[in-house]
Amino acid sequence: MSAFAPLPLGQRIPASLHAVSCSLPTMRDVRGYEEKDPAVTRHMTSGYPRFVVHPLLSQLAANFARPPGLAGHPLWLVSSAAMAGRLAAHLGAAAVRVHDHGVHGVAHPPSPELAARAKVFLQNVGGFLSSRAAEDELVRRGLRPAAEPEELFAGDARAEVRRHLQPAFPGVADADLLLANCGMNAVDSAFRAVSELQAARGRTVWIQLGWLYLDTIALLQKFTAAPADYVYVRDVFDLAALEQVFAAHAGRVAGIVAEVPTNPLIQTPDVAAIAALARKHGARVVLDPTIASAFNLEVLPQADVVVTSLTKYAASAGDLTAGLVVVNPASPDAAPLRRIIASHLEPLPARDLARLAVEIGRVSGVLARIHASVPPVVAFLERHPAVHEVYWALHPASRANYLRVARNPGAVGGMITFTLRGPLEEFYDRLRLPKGPSFGMTTTLICPFMYLAHYDLVSTAAGRAELAASGLNPDLLRLSLGTEPVADIIAALAEALG
């Protein structure tokens, strides 16, 4: 009997109140979700927490004490007083900060434009209130009978999480393993800290190396000092192009942001060469190993700062978000970076931390099972006549670069992306695997990644041309392997491929 049963539209993945993924079983559902078609969105009980406002947050907002005059105003519940201040400043004079029993939010007059700006800002920087924090507050107010039962760590959860992180960052003090409420807040905090230090030196230019995760791109595009200070180097392997950027902006480059490997093409740049080039020119290097996991890669020696999402792999049940920032103690700016980053990070709520402390203890076993499945799935896809291209950590284009930073040759992470020779929709709709956003879970997940992350580009001719210029096929599929039997995963793929 197969491990995979059909999941209806909108079902949480996993079946937890705090699930970070949800089922989008057909391409029609994917397009309807992106276009906010009520026929689709009415089925969406939740979704990825930075993109879909959790129903617990909506319930709490509806019962929030508001000053006179704010009745009927949209209210965004955020992770801290500091985040409320940032959001209010971003929205301008129309925004009003509110708080109720230690929970903070920002209200504004009814306006689709203001609502869109607020939501996208909180998505970009990781500023939403946690669903568990909202649940706890609803219980305290008597609006829910009790929190959903789950296994929580009973001791010092922060110490337990750091204990499991230490092997991935040997030589780094426990206090310097800086936890955040999600991976994007980790990226945002590191970017802001490096920007503050480098701006004082006249350095405001940031380099995006290769196609990165959409919100990382958004941070670089929106929050550099001026539009001209954002520079995109399309080819992660083109060191000559990188050198040209340094020459064109002599003495002005603040930093480079790179994913190791990239999302979604799983390309690994030569991080040692990049680090040497950056140091030569006084720039700082921010590396993100989320796609394959910081547990698999040793990248801190080549970085000034490592940022990663612990939502992936560490929280392998798929029911919480968390992030991590680690400063290289050998970085010239190590001391001020630690201080500034710590001041910017949004805290990981206590119950999320206690849940993470349980799940992170399973990470080595989860990764071992995932790693055993990746090569046979890759081999199957590469042999199948309906599959056009397959990308993974050991793809020939960057295999050597990946192995230079991998802790062992089999530590490949769980991500595979591939393209088809035939229509995407027919394959996707037939496939029995769970279909939804996120990755690094015990549950196998597949999604038409460019549709979910960059629908604005996929749905226009100009956008598709932009993707093509970056070597991205709009119909690329992103497959994240879980811990189910590999024979069942391959059988489901074979059935859909025909």
Instruction: Kindly indicate the confidence band of residue 337, based on its pLDDT and cuts at 50, 70 and 90.
Output: very high
Report yes or no: 465 and 352 within 8 Å, Cβ to Cβ: no
Only one residue has tokens 């909506």, namely 58
Which residue is associated with the tokens 């397009």? 31
The angle subtended at Cα 434 by Cα 431 and Cα 435, nearest 5°, is 80
Contact present, 22 and 45 (Cβ < 8 Å): yes
Residues 258 and 268: their CA atoms lie apart, in Å, by: 9
CA distance 460 to 63: 41
- The angle formed by the CA atoms of residues 10, 15 and 20, to the nearest 5 degrees, is 70
Task: Say which residues have a Cβ less than 8 Å from residue 145's Cβ, sequence separation at least 6.
Answer: 139
| DSSP classification of residue 419 | E
pLDDT value of position 429: 97
State the pLDDT confidence band at 372, using cuts at 50, 70 and 90: very high
Confidence of residue 17 (pLDDT cuts 50, 70, 90): very high
Q: What is the pLDDT of residues 263-294, one digit of tens each?
A: 999 999 999 999 999 999 999 999 999 999 99
Q: Both tokens of residue 87?
A: 């959001």
Question: Cα 467 from chain centroid?
Answer: 20
Q: What topology is assigned to 362-497 in CATH? A: Aspartate Aminotransferase, domain 1 (3.90.1150)
Rounded to the nearest 5°, which phi and psi values hold at 173?
-65, 145
Class of domain 157-360: alpha beta
Q: Where are the domains positioned within the chain?
A: 55-127, 157-360, 362-497
**476-497: per-residue pLDDT in tens?**
999 999 999 999 999 999 999 9
Say how far apart CA 95 and CA 8 lie, in whole Å.
38
The predicted structure's pLDDT at residue 170: 92
Q: Per-residue pLDDT for 1 more than 60?
A: no
Residue 389, classed as helix, strand or coil, is: strand
The average confidence (pLDDT) of the chain is 96
Q: Select the more confidently predicted residue: 189 or 52.
A: 189
- Over residues 123-128, the mean pLDDT reads 97
Length of the chain: 498
Cα separation, 190 vs 468, in Å, equals 30
Q: What is the DSSP letter of 229?
A: G
Torsion sign over Cα 314, 212, 236, 481: positive
The phi-psi region of residue 452 (left if phi > 0; otherwise alpha if psi is between -120 and 50; otherwise beta) is alpha
pLDDT reported for residue 3: 79
Position of tokens 């055993």? 372
* Predicted TM-score of the model (pTM): 0.96
Residues of the chain with pLDDT > 70: what percent?
100
